[in-house]
Amino acid sequence: MRLSTKGRYGVKAMFDLALHYGEGPVSLKNVADRQGISEHYLEQLISGLRKAGLVKSVRGAQGGYALAKEPDKITVGDVIRVLEGPIAPVDCVAEEDPEFCQKAENCVTKGIWEKVRDSIAGVLDAITLEDMVKDAEKLQRDANFYMYYI
Amino acid sequence: MRLSTKGRYGVKAMFDLALHYGEGPVSLKNVADRQGISEHYLEQLISGLRKAGLVKSVRGAQGGYALAKEPDKITVGDVIRVLEGPIAPVDCVAEEDPEFCQKAENCVTKGIWEKVRDSIAGVLDAITLEDMVKDAEKLQRDANFYMYYI
DNA sequence: ACAAATCCCGAGTATTTTAGTAAGCTATTG
DNA sequence: CAATAGCTTACTAAAATACTCGGGATTTGT
């Protein structure tokens, strides 16, 4: 039940773009450096996000990437689904075209995996990139607080 | 975010043992045949479940496996944790000795993965083998109902 | 005593996935 | 026209997955 680096890096990169939303395109090199990710690898990941319409790109010098919508219109679930595929602890309960199974009719485990799927999706779909930005600002404030009072 | 066959087969096997709870040991061959799993492979999985104290074994002819506790004392989460390891979408939020991360203090994504972990654990820990047996009986009743009335 | 049925254990292996790297092309800016 | 930066395809090393194989140890029924 582990997320691969695709999902993790993708969420970090999208969070980074959300932090710089409205400031024009951000180069992948900057994102990769700030988030500690291989630039080339990130290139592949963001390619999928662009094709899915979550980010837009500007080519050429001073180019880069930017969110295609406002940060509160993009959820973590959107990002994960593009990079990791439909949410599904097992293939027979995938959100999109689940694998057909003959025994599905009287399968007791299927119901369990559906609950797991829905609880994961519920969490990921409830968090937007804007939520993450606000959390980051709060973490920053708390850090400053301790800096001054210790 | 997929479960491997270890977890799936393990839950199926434990469910099978729950169905035959109180009837003496069940041979792995029978379990494997009924659940459609390779017997040799299942042997490896159940070895872990035995070491974890979830099943007990009887060697020799007419031997086999049986649940070590009543079906309502074993949750799906117990089984999954033995076979797939501690629940953790990413290593830094593993239930047992999570991987240390320097940036954890001001990491926005960590909170997300913790929520995912807790929601998965919540679902899996709330379902016992007895619940599964009752679900199976209900599915059976429904199937019979339709059989008579169609 | 012996064969059959089982559990038990460690090694080996083919396939797939993961997590990248490499190389080169295309578009835009100054 | 050089520098920057996106875009694309192909390759690859390492790990995980999902088994298979072979043989040993125990117990039961004949």
Q: What is the mean pLDDT of residues A72-93?
A: 98
Question: How many Å apart are CA A51 and CA A39, to the nearest integer?
Answer: 18
The answer to whether the beta carbons of residues A65 and A25 sit under 8 Å apart is yes
Interface probe for A, chosen from B108, B128, B137 (most Cβ of A below 10 Å), is: B108
Q: What is the mean pLDDT of residues A12-25?
A: 98
Could you give the 3-state DSSP secondary structure of residue B90?
Answer: coil
pLDDT at B150: 56
pLDDT at A142: 86
pLDDT at A134: 98
Q: What is the mean pLDDT of residues B81-89?
A: 98
pLDDT at A150: 55
- pLDDT value at A30 more than 60: yes
Q: What is the mean pLDDT of chain A?
A: 95
- A149: confidence class by pLDDT, cuts 50, 70, 90: low
CB contact under 8 A, B135 and A108: yes
Query: Residue B99 sits in a domain of what CATH number?
Result: 1.10.10.10
Question: How many Å apart are CA B29 and CA B33, to the nearest integer?
Answer: 6
- B64: confidence class by pLDDT, cuts 50, 70, 90: very high
Which residues from chain B sit within 8 angstroms of residue A144, using beta carbons?
Answer: none
User: φ, ψ for residue A67 (rounded to 5)?
Assistant: -60, 140
Please count the residues of chain B: 150
Q: Which of B12, B106, B119 sits opposite A123 (nearest CB)?
A: B119
Q: How many percent of chain B have pLDDT more than 70?
A: 97
Q: Domain residues for A107?
A: 5-149
CA distance B92 to chain A (A): 11
Task: Tally the domains of chain B.
Answer: 1
Q: Which residue has the higher pLDDT, B148 or B31?
A: B31
- B121: confidence class by pLDDT, cuts 50, 70, 90: very high
